[in-house]
Structure 1
């Protein structure tokens, strides 16, 4: 067996995440990804960016502190390589260059800001999902983040369309969404439903992953749209403290889970889809798989 260690950092609008995986390759060509460490720090960059257009000093300091800690963990685990990516909030922050240079000087980590389309592609590739698609079916891949929602249409075994919408959980909570963007979102989904008639949603993001756990689903068991809607109605009838107490959620998750489920229920309603598959893979998982493939390590 060969074992290599890779790391990935995901700087999102709602939190910053570090994932370190052991990647094990066996003589029969099997490859297994085993989690060595996962750290999530709730630095909500989107609260600054979506209201004021830039990242304030307090959150910049929190980001730098977290990245210094991540750098230490990457060294401690002896990773062969790592990649750090920032998404929606950093894409929109007017001072993103200054912030990322500050991060580099403090932590030694160079961060790439990636597009919404690259973000979606990386997550979708994380669990080998493309290889598992049925060419006879049409799918909607939906990733709901803190700042944006990425949607990709897969039909006839390949990508047919993709779009990024400035509709994310932190943006919604901040009251920073544009009614015109909601209209664009709804009209685009209706067009895609008419053109490709998708029957399955592939759901991505921390909130749909949490819902999968709350509904006590087995690893590859799908969520039914009716179950999703019922849970959404229950959660939004509660305040944040009640969600924390009744569903054992941390405060950050208790705040963002309702707007996330609102987006997912909109997609099921507009496209008349009754099934949501949840592979429970994220951007960091996809980054590590990309790194491993780049090295193309032979068995030895």
Structure 2
């Protein structure tokens, strides 16, 4: 029958990860371990801009968010996705007008958004990292640096041993500590004291479970890897990479340079996408802080994260 021709042969699924800086849309089909990406789109919505620590979505960010969701809806319908999930995290969780945004998205784009808590977020991130194949039977500390929150998970390829979400994302840290560029030493010291104060439960868990490696979940870690490889003249295509192992010296070198850099220098660096140009400074500081505090020199990166974790659950 002719009307059957446009129907997707396999179950097609759309997952949206609505983060503080970036809204992601992933449309895929297949199985949890082996899915084919039909469409992947990233929009630098910056929903937390100007209001992340005030607990409000500013009007300009609100409008950008609605527009992105309307655009996502067109792609979802065009691809013929039959199951749709839109997951919202820290910024919408903590915004006083988060529910207004959710209602307007449903009215104008016909998409229902579900807000998840930090614990659910960490669980999805673990599933995404696991699906990328980067985990082994050794315990690893997974870190997912978002704009609003940071998730830490200690686990291996069999199970999660400990997980917690902290509202110390790169956008929140930038708003608090990175007011002058390059970031002054006094601000770095203040941020370190702040992290010492907030991350106690992580260090207790690390002492108990003794992770051997640090795995960065997408985000800033993708930028670290891309800058390193491009500077060495190597081709770099995120679409073809599930996992990446850092040379520790290369990673420490790029982190140090980013911390000391100016906005102009970062903006001119190939491999750093515009939405990350400023937030990568606090993300770099947080990364080196964790490496030193927990004593981890083996660092890997997975390009899979929350959306792939949600997708794996839906396809599985």
Classify the TM-score, shorter chain: 0.7 to 0.9
Query: Structure 1 residue 34 and structure 2 residue 29: aligned?
Result: no
Unaligned runs of 5+ in 2: 1-7, 179-189, 230-235
Give CA deviations for 1:10-54 in whole Å, capped at 9, x if unaligned. Answer: 11111111111232x6xxxx9521222122111112224423221
Once structures 1 and 2 are overlaid, which stretch shifts more, 31-40 or 156-165? 156-165
Give CA deviations for 1:75-104 in whole Å, capped at 9, x if unaligned. Answer: 000012110010000110011111110111
TM-score (norm 1): 0.86
Question: What is the aligned counterpart of 1:17 among 2, 14, 24?
Answer: 24
Please give the alpha-carbon distance, in whole angstroms, between the structure 2 residues aligned to 1:248 and 1:289: 28
Once structures 1 and 2 are overlaid, which stretch shifts more, 212-221 or 281-290? 212-221
Once structures 1 and 2 are overlaid, which stretch shifts more, 203-212 or 151-160? 151-160
1:4 is aligned to 11
Calculate the aligned-residue CA RMSD, in Å: 2.6
Give CA deviations for 1:166-194 in whole Å, capped at 9, x if unaligned. Answer: 11111112117997852244433332332
2:170 is aligned to 169
Once structures 1 and 2 are overlaid, which stretch shifts more, 238-247 or 258-267? 238-247
Query: Structure 1 residue 288 and structure 2 residue 311: aligned?
Result: yes
Please give the alpha-carbon distance, in whole angstroms, between the structure 2 residues aligned to 1:232 and 1:292: 37
Question: What is the aligned counterpart of 2:224 among 207, 211, 235?
Answer: 211
Across the two proteins, how many residue pairs are aligned to each other? 287
Give CA deviations for 1:152-175 in whole Å, capped at 9, x if unaligned. Answer: 122694322212111111111211
Please give the alpha-carbon distance, in whole angstroms, between the structure 1 residues aligned to 2:207 and 2:273: 39
Q: Secondary structure at the match of 1:141?
A: strand
Please give the alpha-carbon distance, in whole angstroms, between the structure 2 residues aligned to 1:205 and 1:181: 24
Q: Secondary structure at the match of 2:53?
A: helix
1:154 is aligned to 155
Unaligned runs of 5+ in 1: 294-300
Please give the alpha-carbon distance, in whole angstroms, between the structure 2 residues aligned to 1:264 and 1:240: 19
Please give the alpha-carbon distance, in whole angstroms, between the structure 2 residues aligned to 1:87 and 1:202: 21
Please give the alpha-carbon distance, in whole angstroms, between the structure 2 residues aligned to 1:105 and 1:160: 40
